Copies of this chain bind each other. A is one copy, B any other.
Amino acid sequence: MSRLGIIAGGGALPRKLIRACQRDGKPFFVLALQGQTDKKNLVDVPHQWSRVGAINEAVGILKAENVDTLVMAGAVRRPGLMEMRPDWRTIQVFARLGTAAFGDDALLRAAASELEKDGFKLIGAHEIEPELITPAGVLTRKQPSAENNADLEYGLRVAKALGQLDVGQAAVVQQGVVLGVEALEGTDALLKRCRSLKCKGRGGVLVKASKPQQDKRLDLPTIGLRTVRHAYEAGLEGIAVEAGASLLLDREEVIAAADKLGMFVAGIRA
């Protein structure tokens, strides 16, 4: 019987999908990526290890494991060219992309289309677990203030501009000033840095948005309990992510935690 292949990047998303498959009795197989996948996700789970630069090896493993459908789950940090040790097929992908500047996103899309060429059907995490998609509206008791909304609007424009250039997905804004924007460091590191950048006084929001060119099957912006904790520790008043185009892990726990901390969590429209 054919199986769902979960290509597991970092973070908690691979575990959510593994749980969903186990719950639904759906046959699956995990392709773990060296230096990216959390080993804790793999206990009692059918899996094999590969690495980012080995597309050809990955295809071989997935075919041997009878995988026909693929989901890419969790952020995959692109290693340096040297560290990557690309196999011949990965090199062909690079050659096709050219020597022009290209970011994480271009590489991810290229890898995905390469896998599709081999007949794999690529689906999004939300197709396995629709509840992961962030709904529109304020989800918490706390509502954003007028000032919060102005900062959210500004942060959304910044996040979209960053996304368009394939830089990152997140921005932190307080009182009309952008405290920090995300590139390779990720949202957790961004929030940690903002602890010392936030000025005294009210306000402060985190915005995460999908890239304008986002393929919804790949690397959607994601928040979870850890995001709420880090945002709280940075002194922020709330978090907004793009409704319908982002993943909200552990929705109930996230809302409960935000309610307890007096923060808002909202799905906003671009």
**Assembly CA distance A168 to B173 (angstroms):** 13
Q: Contacts of A82 on B, CB cut-off 8 Å?
A: 199-202
> Do B161 and A168 have beta carbons less than 8 Å apart?
no
Report A48-64 CB contacts with B as 1/0, cut-off 8 Å. Answer: 00000000000000000
**Assembly CA distance A198 to B173 (angstroms):** 26
> Do B165 and A157 have beta carbons less than 8 Å apart?
yes
> Do B173 and A179 have beta carbons less than 8 Å apart?
no
**Assembly CA distance A65 to B154 (angstroms):** 40
Whether A181 is near chain B, meaning CB under 8 Å from some CB there, is: yes
| Nearest B-chain residue to A160, judged by Cβ | B165
| Nearest B-chain residue to A83, judged by Cβ | B200
Interface residues contributed by chain A, number (CB under 8 Å): 48
Copy tally for this chain in the complex stands at 2
> Do A103 and B178 have beta carbons less than 8 Å apart?
yes
**Assembly CA distance A78 to B201 (angstroms):** 13
Contact of A183 among B153, B165, B181 (CB under 8 A): B181
> A99-B146, A101-B151 given as contacts; is B199 within 8 A of A80 (CB)?
yes
Q: Interface centre among A78, A103, A104, A165, by most B CB within 10 Å? A: A165
> Do B179 and A183 have beta carbons less than 8 Å apart?
yes
Report A11-27 CB contacts with B as 1/0, cut-off 8 Å. Answer: 00000000000000000
* Main secondary structure on A side of the interface with B: mixed
> A83-B199, A193-B193 given as contacts; is B178 within 8 A of A102 (CB)?
no
Q: Contacts of A161 on B, CB cut-off 8 Å?
A: 161-162, 164-165
Q: Contacts of A101 on B, CB cut-off 8 Å?
A: 150-151, 153-154, 173, 176
Report A150-180 CB contacts with B as 1/0, cut-off 8 Å. Answer: 1101100110011011111001111111111
Whether A185 is near chain B, meaning CB under 8 Å from some CB there, is: yes
> Do B176 and A165 have beta carbons less than 8 Å apart?
no
Q: Contacts of A261 on B, CB cut-off 8 Å?
A: none
Q: List 7 A-B contacts (CB under 8 A).
A: A79-B199, A80-B201, A82-B200, A178-B183, A179-B184, A185-B197, A193-B193
Additional 9 contacts, C-beta under 8 A, given A79-B199, A101-B150 = A80-B199, A99-B150, A100-B176, A101-B151, A157-B165, A167-B178, A171-B183, A178-B183, A193-B193
